[in-house]
């Protein structure tokens, strides 16, 4: 989840919003976070393509159980939560590191 607004409570950089914005952008250019985000986007894209194909064949959206049982994307659907959690943990750690500085 990307922050929409940031606040910097340190007295030595009071009013220095450029510095704060640079730190926030540095978090999102973190190679690990960027790699996790790319993997997540690729997974979601693959699932979306499969859902559209399913809908074209069957005239309805697939249920979650149908998606999990499908040999083509079942493992992707099952692992999606872990991928999202990994990205969230990586970004949370980057924010914690930023606050410690």
- Number of continuous H segments (helices) and E segments (strands) in the chain: 4, 0
pTM equals 0.58
Beta carbons of 83 and 36 less than 8 angstroms apart: yes
CB neighbours (10 Å) of residue 67?
20
pLDDT value for 11: 47
pLDDT value for 24: 53
pLDDT value for 8: 45
pLDDT value for 98: 65
6: left (phi over 0), alpha (psi -120 to 50) or beta: beta
Domain range annotation of the chain: 26-100
Q: With a cut of 70, which residues of the chain have pLDDT below it?
A: 1-33, 94-95, 97-101
Beta carbons of 43 and 76 less than 8 angstroms apart: yes
């Amino acid at each position: 989840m990307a922050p929409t607004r940031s606040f910097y409570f340190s007295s030595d950089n009071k009013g220095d919003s450029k510095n704060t914005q640079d730190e926030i952008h540095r978090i999102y250019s973190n190679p690990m976070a960027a790699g996790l985000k790319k993997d997540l986007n690729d997974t979601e894209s693959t699932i979306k393509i499969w859902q559209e194909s399913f809908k074209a064949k069957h005239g309805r959206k697939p249920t979650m159980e149908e998606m999990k049982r499908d040999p083509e994307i079942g493992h992707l659907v099952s692992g999606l939560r872990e991928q999202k959690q990994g990205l969230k943990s990586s970004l949370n750690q980057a924010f914690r590191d930023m606050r410690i500085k």
